Amino acid sequence: MIRLVIVSLWINLFLLSCTSKPSSMKNDAFIEILDDQILDLIHPEAPYHIMAQGFAWTEGPLWLEEQQSLIFTDIPNNSIFRIDAKGELSLYLKPSGYTDDTPRGGEVGANGLTLDPQGRLVLCQHGDRRMARMDSPLDQPKSEFITLVDKYEGKRFNSPNDVVFDKAGNMYFTDPPYGLEFNMNDPAKELDFQGIYCLKTSGELVLLDTISRPNGLAFSRDEKYLYVANSDPKMAVWYRYEVLEDGLIHNKTLFFDATEFVGKEGFKGLPDGMKINRSGTIFATGPGGVWVFDPNGKVLARLRTGEATSNCAFSTDEKTFFMTADDYILKIDLK
């Protein structure tokens, strides 16, 4: 009972320390138009609205259409929060990524979130080092999880980071070291590489490729290509792979190299999460905010947030674009 009271008190104090301000605007953010063709989609003067702020590090934004709400993770606080249609902020799930009672450091919460083909919540759990599914309905969230996969060839994952499903129901995810307390030098690290994986509907786990810091990933609308962000400051790039009929990938090519922007004033952050809209336009978080590409790698615009921007999401109708940027939850309206 004492533990429940302490947790409840922490939740109330934390929510008080955070704010939900859907009508406020972020004045140091702006939209940089680099090609006029994007004007059909983005208004250059569209304001950035602050939906909430005051978190430790936000990630994993996911729009829930039936609930008309946005959920997102606060990784260091091992929590998922919810903002409803009225702009009200509430705790959605805690714990979200680390369910053991033994205290540990590092980025322990859930990272990337998505829905599987059956509409169930799937989480990249940093602390538990696994891909998991929440074992309860979306409108009745509980910290009860089913392990989908947690090892490759008997060795534990580093800390699964982002996830996407193809139309056939195969699950693709990345596994960098960011959830480990000491990252690459963590003594608990069992794999000597950082992988891109596919868990097939048959249950077979396939290592698709290894790169230095695999992070966000997304399919082209026709699923002919898989795009993967590499959040390595020495190689801050996005790759594009061709997808074969059996779901495997090959012919890796460099889609765009943003390494020269890393560390420049006004360009906080690295390649991270990404989403692709119905027209095939790619929205990828990277140095300075969100980079907007056409399918051939041409930069059409940059949504400059002024923060290290981790991930992004669309509403179902694609009229609203959400961003997790450091301690903020931001949104802009699209045409």
User: Is residue 51, in this structure, part of any structural domain at all?
Assistant: no
**With bands split at pLDDT 50, 70 and 90, how would you rate the model's confidence at 15?**
low
User: Is residue 73, in this structure, part of any structural domain at all?
Assistant: yes
Give residue 19's pLDDT.
64
SS3 53: strand
Give residue 24's pLDDT.
66
The predicted-structure confidence for 38-62, as pLDDT tens digits, reads as follows: 999 999 999 999 999 999 999 999 9
User: Is residue 295, in this structure, part of any structural domain at all?
Assistant: no
User: Is residue 86, in this structure, part of any structural domain at all?
Assistant: yes
For residue 23, is pLDDT > 60? no
Question: By percentage, how much of the chain surpasses pLDDT 70?
Answer: 93
- Domain count for the chain, please give it: 1
Q: Are 111 and 59 in contact (CB under 8 A)?
A: yes
Burial of 12 (0-12, 13-18, 19+ CB in 10 A): exposed
C-alpha closest to that of 172 among 126, 121, 215:
215
SS3 59: strand
User: Is residue 264, in this structure, part of any structural domain at all?
Assistant: no
The predicted-structure confidence for 241-263, as pLDDT tens digits, reads as follows: 999 999 999 999 999 999 999 99
The predicted-structure confidence for 300-334, as pLDDT tens digits, reads as follows: 999 999 999 999 999 999 999 999 999 999 999 99
Computed over every residue of the chain, the mean pLDDT equals 94
Give residue 11's pLDDT.
54
User: Is residue 234, in this structure, part of any structural domain at all?
Assistant: no
Give residue 27's pLDDT.
87
Running DSSP on this structure, what letter comes out for residue 48?
P
* CATH number of the domain to which 68 belongs: 2.120.10.30
C-alpha closest to that of 133 among 154, 177, 163:
163
User: What six digits make up the tokens of 127?
Assistant: 């602390």
For residue 296, is pLDDT > 70? yes
**With bands split at pLDDT 50, 70 and 90, how would you rate the model's confidence at 14?**
low
For residue 20, is pLDDT > 70? no
Q: Are 91 and 77 in contact (CB under 8 A)?
A: no
**With bands split at pLDDT 50, 70 and 90, how would you rate the model's confidence at 3?**
very low
For residue 288, is pLDDT > 70? yes
- C-alpha 335/C-alpha 332 separation (Å) is 10
Residues 6+ apart with CB under 8 A from 2: none
User: Is residue 38, in this structure, part of any structural domain at all?
Assistant: no
Indicate the pTM of the whole model.
0.94
For residue 6, is pLDDT > 80? no
- C-alpha 309/C-alpha 72 separation (Å) is 13
Give residue 21's pLDDT.
52
The predicted-structure confidence for 107-162, as pLDDT tens digits, reads as follows: 999 999 999 999 999 999 999 999 999 999 999 999 999 999 999 999 999 999 99
Scanning 52-137, the segments in alpha helix (DSSP H) are none
The predicted-structure confidence for 176-210, as pLDDT tens digits, reads as follows: 999 999 999 999 999 999 999 999 999 999 999 99
**Which residue range forms the structural domain that includes residue 192?**
57-210
User: Is residue 81, in this structure, part of any structural domain at all?
Assistant: yes
Pairing mode of beta strands 225-232, 214-219: antiparallel
